Structure 1
Amino acid sequence: MTGDAPATTPNLPIIIVDGDATVDWAIGLPPGHFPQSEERLTVRSSMLWHWGGTILLTSLVKRACRIDEGKIADVRGLEPLRGCPAVSNRKVHHSFNLLDLFPRHPEDEDETEDARSKRRWRIRQFVGFHAQEKLDEFSSPNLSNDEVPRMVILNDPGLGFGEIGGNWPRVPGVQFGHDNQDAWEDPPWLLLNLRLRGEARREGQLWNAIYSQLTPSEGAISESITMADRLIVITTAQSLRDAGAEVSRGLSWERSAQDILNELERNERVHDLAKCRRLIVSLGPSGVLLVDRSATPPYTLYFDTDYTEGTWEREHSDGKMFGYSQTLTAAIARKLIEFRATPRGLAPTLAAERFHEVLSGGIELGLSAMHQVYNQGFKREGDNSSLIEFPVDCLNEICIPPRVGKSRIPEPSRDGSQKNVGWSILQESLGGEDLYATARTIALQGPQGPDVMANVPLGKFGELLIVDRREMEALRSIQSLLIDYLEHREKIKPRSIAVFGSPGDGKSFAVKQIMESLKATSREPLEFNMSQFQSVGDLVSALHRVRDRALEGDVPLVFWDEFDSPFQAQDLGWLRYFLAPMQDGKFQEGQIVHPVGRSIFVFAGGTSSRYDDFSRKASSVSYKNSKGIDFISRLQGYVDVVGPNAEEGVEMDPYLVLRRALLLHSFLRRAGIKHVDLNGRKQKDIDGGVVEAFLRVSKYRSGTRSMEAIVDTSSLHKGGRFGRSSLPPQTQLDLHVDAAEFLRIARGVSW
């Protein structure tokens, strides 16, 4: 290891930071537009840059370890070179980006002077990366012979530092490079920020050296401090995917966490990491999975309850940022230093739960800081400065933290079975709770009202709110299909999905709200009821309307309601006429073939309430001429919408009452029912018996539509109370529910 003698700070724990260094170059775009060719010499642009990689990580750790009372650690890492580096500098790797000014928050879109002053520099587009074949050695600080670091942080993004011939052997506290380290009685923590690049990770000698020293992670900490005791690996879900792990993206927090644990257990490409006693997997700024085999339970998920992986980034799409993984690493380092314990200090007499709390604190700080990274963006001192600064204050800024939930994750299946496949955080959180009491609070205060719901992920799709894992995953899979289609303009055939549910369950509403959440179009969808079509000419006319909208540059959302209705005395008779538009993106009128254009086809079932029912019917021999199998093969996805009635064929539907509560709260909000203050919490001013009747009535005759109709036809006034006398007359109520039952429940409750 080379470098000047360290400038010591007495009595402070020493942190060593090392790894690959980068310079991040960026072209600062001119405000408002890309210049035309005739403007190229008149529109001002700038070449900007900042230190990235391990130099950035060093800065983050230094800032994290400097709090109100001063420094809490002596941080020694890679220091910036003097002046602006040349693009040809071989001590660093180089990344290239386009930078632009964006609103600080999504709601700051207006063009007022105040809003413009709050704009932040963020990345509009990542352009590329140039990795040096071999870096020249970077100067870094030394340790004197009598110094022992408390922590060593290694940043190995797979760019050469940890490979054969890389610079990692110079680092004290790993395996090589310090004469006295074998004599250290209290070896340092080792934080490894690791990016996997593929199955051949073991070609990296740094990981080889660490992996060879890992002892089995089961059992108590041994008397001699081993690598397993010291090591904390930090990686990302995307890194696991890059290495070949099959980890779903953004369907639900439960699915993501269980996929990661199952892949660590069974996939040879990432199984090495399963030997780590402590592993932290980042799922971006909104979630982190902690594997701590010294704790009970060993698997804990920390998550932003309002988002899942990728959805936070989509909502905060005014530019992009990087450095999230370094920010999380710095947050964990700070909490470890504040904890003051060393690996040897974690003796059996010190409860493992206490150390688990330290890691939890670091993860929660990291999640909050990652949000701050985006909010603050890069800083630039004046128009003449080419140096931009990463928001290293993100770990010390006071900010409103995200709503972070925390849940244990069950043990992964080791035999490939479907054990725990239906497990959910909702089930975990409400296992011993009175569901009706929870539902009442949701109906009155909203989904974030009950304390017990603080740990429950909430699926938001426009005005549609979901808490059930199955529904959330089904709707997010459709959302992902639509995002993929909208982002790839080269896909010109219609995207075809099917949606099923009982009449009135809100099939069209669910898909419309998904589109609304994507802000894909401001125009109304096209809706056609196939049961009202009398001839193929009606369908051709409808497809012309779709084509006209596509020619205008829109991607229309097209509902084919009751697509499974009979035609010409044949059940499912319309299916054959959709095969060409779905497969080829074309339809025929006489001898002329027309392109349909980019569009989204939504086939809403009318005679089948579930996909399985439709599939069995369409695949049966008696419907062979309907081309049902060919139709199904052309669908890209489907969703079964669950309404406010119990699912057919399901013996117990424990979360039926929660679905009703969410719907009722939404309808009350739209009706403008006033709020009252109850013990410091705002809730809807509605009679308790009315709430109970909505939640407990046996059945809604037309599903969601009936619930909405009861609220809509009640005698309500904006800002008024919803009392029993507000309900519609019994004869009118009987159109939607068993009125006698509904009123009996409403009159029997006095809260």
Structure 2
Amino acid sequence: MPENLTIVVTGDICINRLLWITDPQNAKGLNWQTHENIHSALLPGEALLLTKLVALSTRAAILAPQITDMPDVSLTEFLSSTAELGLFPETADKPKGNKKYRVSRFLGFTGPATGQPKLLPVENDNADADMVIIDDENNGFNSNRNYWPLALTTPGKTPIVLYKMNNPIDTNALWQNLAKHHMNNTIVIINADDLRAKGVNISKSLSWEKTAQDFVWQINNSPSLAFLANCRHLIIPFGLEGAIYYRNEGSKESYLYFLPYAFEGGSVKDSQGRMSGLTSCFVAGLARSIASGYAHREELPFSIGDGIRTGIVAAQKFFLTGFGNPVQADRFPSPAIFSEWEKDFVSKEDVQDVIIRISANADCQSCWYILKDKSSANLAEIAYSIVKNGVKQALKFIPIAQFGKLQTVDRTEIESYRSINNLMSEYIAAVNTVRPLCIAVFGTPGSGKSFGVTEIAASIAPALIRKLNFNLSQLRSPLELINAFHKVRDISLEGKIPLVFFDEFDSAFEGKLGWLKYFLAPMQDGVFRERDSLHPIGKAIFVFAGGTSSTFEEFCGGDISDEQEQKYFLQEFKGAKGPDFLSRLRGYVNILGPNQTDQQQDQLFIIRRAMLLRSLLETKVPQLINDNDEAQIDNGILRALLKIPRYKHESRSMEAILEMSMLNHAKKWEQSYLPSKEQLKMHVDEEQFLRHLMHDAFFSEKIDGISLALHEKLLSLTKDQPEIDAWLRRPWAELDEDIKNAFRNQAKRIPNVLLKINYDVVSVKETPEAIEFTDKELAMLAPVEHKLWCKQQKAAGWRYGPHKDRQQKTDPALVAWEALTEEKRKQMIQMIRIWPEVLVKANFKIERLKFLCHCEAMML
């Protein structure tokens, strides 16, 4: 950290008054010692706390307002806040472990008896300060120029300014001064919840993609944020788990920084209490990196990126340490917050970043997946890695949502599940609720409709939830439904919360959707009628699982394109009380099973399959997972299970194939252990499955034929190029074996190279039609093919040389793609262009992988 760097920290002043209770000191002492004891302490808040944090983070001498004797400070002049502390678990996963004091209840602010809260000047202020850090809590500092640091009021000074802003408006005097004189060097930090409090609609805790895209839309379109859109550097922290860096230096770019294993607010549970000063700790971490970068003349955006990582880690550790145990005012905050240790539960390397993508096509906003941007691999390669190496290893840089045993990386599923999670959390925490929480779940049979919702409920309140299941297609009269409500009520009277699944609620009864009308009163009023009596149901969660409709849109008729047909449907739907039923629902989720639901939008079905298969291997045949956590499974089986177009009974089919295989004593899932062709037919198209299974064998058998065709095509393409070596122009049968192997290696590389542009090579019975690569596709394929060729050549002992020499194994083409001659690049592109024609003759079809979205396909 630079020794001569001058940092000024100032802003609003607040004194934090903390109260906490301890057990009696003893049972036999003075009377007061036998009762609970109340303790109090005065700690610095707002700019005073930020000063201490910046001093710890930068280890520099800070110029700032000072209160030398905090215990004797007069609270009649200053603004103060009062909070009650309690002992909370250090971490949520160890509720009985070490405990720390944190805020259990914020009691409010106390202002001075008369006038405005007292502000303090910067002691030994210096107009030549290199950095100014401001804590503007909208408590008077931003309108009182007399207390602003000299570096902001002296003409011609250009310090780096970190402006922590609580009230995002452009009318205060301080903002106008910064906007006029210091905007180029000002970094604005506003907590996401402060933006939301001003009516800025940014989703919370659904998915990082959704939150990020909401922010970008708001900053570009919201009139209330127009003044912030002009910031050169704007940082929005999202809880302890992420932040967005908006940069506007000629062109606008936004970057998301996030912890993959947590969503906004997800790393802190209610059972852990709260902490004030988290954003101040983030700013102190940011200041640390910017100060270091300033000394080393780093570009400011680079320092900001590193600072966001430092800030996220520091805020996490600040929360973890709390106020300590016991509370020691003179040791707060802890210096350990800004130290790095191997045992730390979070580090800067854990914080990932990605540029936020916004498509010009409004229909493709939901097409952006961090998973695809954070991995250079194709989705199929990621899927193989998930099964082979496990979810954590394959997806360690990707946002993962987990609820109990349920894991998902699919953005659509994450947003749906988290919506349900948020609804359930609020409902379970609420008191005096008089009606059930009603949600609907749709999906094809076998997609796992009940599993996901059950895991969410269990992850929120496992001791409170008790599950019940009723299949309405098996009920014969409303009386049986009344009996079901009685069972629900009994559980509620026990003090538990019944989680009630009404399976196939959309089945016919006395006509289409006949059961709906019997749920309207219980859903709306929380009561059911039995003869002349009304019975309250109590607190309960009703889950309506669709049986005839696989999506919410299908249930509502939203997928009907014919106008007359839709009109008839809506009349029938209204007659069955469908709109009344929908109005009582508070949420819904479409469960995505292992089958692809939509060729345009459902990109990640292969990832869902991989995660399901890995889970099945771990739970049902754990002996196939070795000590290195690697799954022992034949590549052909893995390809077939992941690439088969459709499972007839969704996840049940995948599970059935595993259970029908002879794996009880196996150490590896070999092809010989698979069930018979007739048994496979029950769950998949057995012909397609076997062709995927034998794909590698089919391709290996035809390698020589493909290699021969490649050689012939090369001769045809280069017949007018006399510089081509004579030893390459011989007939295939007369070629040296090392030259034949070079063509064989090229043939073997083709499937892997094509995966880079989302193409797959599929064995087919009939001779398919050859496709044509676009110029963009060729421009993407050629560098990949060249890189792999170089790697194989070097492995075989070849090295760069100015001339090609087979004896010395030197080749001038063993350079980076950009360094190749134009002629060599054209020659390689010509060779790749003929791949489809060569493969077609060997009965291999090149087809687009179906998990590309429309907007990505248009880019190729």
* TM-score bracket, shorter-length normalisation: 0.7 to 0.9
Q: Which residue among 281, 288, 308 is the counterpart of 1:334?
A: 288
The residue type paired with residue 123 of structure 1 is: V
Aligned to 1:136: 118
Higher deviation after alignment, 627-636 or 558-567: 627-636
- Tell me the CA shift for residue 457 of structure 1: 1.4
The residue type paired with residue 584 of structure 1 is: D
Aligned to 2:107: 127
Of Structure 1 and Structure 2, which has the larger fraction of its residues in helix?
A: 2
Aligned to 1:601: 542
> Does 2:555 align with 1:614?
yes
> Does 2:432 align with 1:490?
yes
The residue type paired with residue 12 of structure 2 is: D
Distance 2:481 2:125 in 1: 79
Aligned to 2:150: 172
Distance 1:78 1:400 in 2: 34
Aligned to 1:439: 383
Please state whether the residue corresponding to 2:582 is helix, strand or coil.
Answer: helix
Q: Which residue among 210, 235, 245 is the counterpart of 2:178?
A: 210
- Cα pair 1:46 1:386 within 8 Å, conserved: no
Q: Which residue among 221, 225, 240 is the counterpart of 2:195?
A: 240
Alignment CA distance shift 1:636-1:410 (3 Å): same
> Does 2:368 align with 1:423?
yes
Higher deviation after alignment, 517-526 or 235-244: 517-526
Aligned to 2:77: 90
Distance 1:313 1:107 in 2: 11
> Does 2:224 align with 1:254?
no
Alignment CA distance shift 1:510-1:375 (3 Å): same
- Cα pair 1:674 1:684 within 8 Å, conserved: no
Distance 2:625 2:638 in 1: 15
State how 1:389-400 maps to structure 2 within 5 Å: 389-398=332-341, 399-400=344-345
Aligned to 1:360: 305
Distance 1:405 1:613 in 2: 38
Aligned to 2:89: 103
- Tell me the CA shift for residue 319 of structure 1: 1.9
Which structure has the bigger radius of gyration?
2
Aligned to 1:659: 608
Higher deviation after alignment, 371-380 or 736-745: 736-745
The residue type paired with residue 188 of structure 1 is: P
- Tell me the CA shift for residue 386 of structure 1: 6.5
Distance 1:614 1:24 in 2: 54
- Tell me the CA shift for residue 98 of structure 1: 2.0
The residue type paired with residue 627 of structure 1 is: K
- Tell me the CA shift for residue 388 of structure 1: 6.6
Alignment CA distance shift 1:78-1:640 (3 Å): same
Aligned to 1:577: 518
Higher deviation after alignment, 252-261 or 317-326: 317-326
Distance 2:76 2:664 in 1: 71
- Cα pair 1:237 1:260 within 8 Å, conserved: no
State how 1:135-284 maps to structure 2 within 5 Å: 135-143=117-125, 148-163=128-143, 166=144, 169-175=147-153, 181-184=154-157, 187-196=158-167, 201-211=169-179, 213=180, 227-284=182-239
- Tell me the CA shift for residue 100 of structure 1: 1.8
Distance 2:656 2:522 in 1: 37
- Tell me the CA shift for residue 652 of structure 1: 6.5
The residue type paired with residue 304 of structure 2 is: L
The residue type paired with residue 437 of structure 1 is: E
Aligned to 2:448: 506
Deviation track 1:118-149 (CA, whole Å, cap 9, x = no partner) reads 322222222223345512232531235xx610
- Cα pair 1:49 1:388 within 8 Å, conserved: no
Deviation track 1:509-534 (CA, whole Å, cap 9, x = no partner) reads 11112112223545441100000101
> Does 2:277 align with 1:323?
yes
Alignment CA distance shift 1:74-1:466 (3 Å): same
State how 1:273-672 maps to structure 2 within 5 Å: 273-294=228-249, 298-314=253-269, 317-340=271-294, 354-380=299-325, 389-398=332-341, 399-401=344-346, 403-410=350-357, 420-430=365-375, 433-450=377-394, 453-521=395-463, 523-568=465-510, 570-616=511-557, 620-647=570-597, 650-651=599-600, 653-672=602-621
Distance 2:74 2:362 in 1: 53
- Cα pair 1:288 1:303 within 8 Å, conserved: yes
- Tell me the CA shift for residue 660 of structure 1: 0.5
For structure 2, list consecutive stretches of 5 or more residues without a partner in the other structure: 25-30, 558-565, 701-860
Alignment CA distance shift 1:295-1:10 (3 Å): closer
Distance 1:168 1:726 in 2: 82
The CA RMSD over aligned residues, in Å, is 2.9
- Tell me the CA shift for residue 687 of structure 1: 2.3
- Cα pair 2:119 2:147 within 8 Å, conserved: no
Output the TM-score relative to the length of structure 2: 0.74
- Tell me the CA shift for residue 477 of structure 1: 1.3
- Tell me the CA shift for residue 31 of structure 1: 6.0
The residue type paired with residue 182 of structure 1 is: P
Distance 1:380 1:90 in 2: 30
Distance 1:533 1:154 in 2: 67
Aligned to 2:797: none
Distance 2:500 2:481 in 1: 12
Aligned to 1:219: none
Aligned to 2:47: 54
- Tell me the CA shift for residue 623 of structure 1: 3.9
Alignment CA distance shift 1:97-1:749 (3 Å): farther
- Tell me the CA shift for residue 168 of structure 1: 5.8
- Tell me the CA shift for residue 641 of structure 1: 0.8
Distance 1:591 1:550 in 2: 22
Higher deviation after alignment, 655-664 or 736-745: 736-745
Aligned to 1:17: 9
Distance 2:489 2:292 in 1: 63
The residue type paired with residue 159 of structure 1 is: N
Alignment CA distance shift 1:496-1:40 (3 Å): farther
Alignment CA distance shift 1:47-1:651 (3 Å): closer
Alignment CA distance shift 1:26-1:726 (3 Å): farther
- Cα pair 1:12 1:74 within 8 Å, conserved: no
- Tell me the CA shift for residue 749 of structure 1: 4.3
- Tell me the CA shift for residue 194 of structure 1: 0.4
- Cα pair 1:246 1:259 within 8 Å, conserved: yes
For structure 1, list consecutive stretches of 5 or more residues without a partner in the other structure: 1-8, 33-37, 67-72, 176-180, 214-225
- Tell me the CA shift for residue 243 of structure 1: 1.4
Please state whether the residue corresponding to 1:448 is helix, strand or coil.
Answer: helix
Distance 1:234 1:588 in 2: 56
Aligned to 1:63: 56
Please state whether the residue corresponding to 1:333 is helix, strand or coil.
Answer: helix
- Tell me the CA shift for residue 438 of structure 1: 1.4
- Tell me the CA shift for residue 560 of structure 1: 0.3
Please state whether the residue corresponding to 2:92 is helix, strand or coil.
Answer: coil
Alignment CA distance shift 1:429-1:139 (3 Å): closer
Deviation track 1:307-343 (CA, whole Å, cap 9, x = no partner) reads 11122223x742222222111111111111111259x
Please state whether the residue corresponding to 2:155 is helix, strand or coil.
Answer: helix
- Tell me the CA shift for residue 108 of structure 1: 2.5
Alignment CA distance shift 1:508-1:243 (3 Å): same
- Cα pair 1:161 1:168 within 8 Å, conserved: no
Whose relative contact order is higher, 1 or 2, with alpha carbons under 8 Å and at least 6 apart?
Answer: 1
Q: Percent identity?
A: 32
- Cα pair 2:442 2:590 within 8 Å, conserved: yes
Alignment CA distance shift 1:209-1:477 (3 Å): same
Please state whether the residue corresponding to 2:83 is helix, strand or coil.
Answer: strand
Higher deviation after alignment, 43-52 or 248-257: 43-52
Please state whether the residue corresponding to 2:206 is helix, strand or coil.
Answer: coil
The residue type paired with residue 206 of structure 1 is: L
- Tell me the CA shift for residue 406 of structure 1: 1.0
- Cα pair 1:379 1:390 within 8 Å, conserved: no
Alignment CA distance shift 1:594-1:299 (3 Å): same
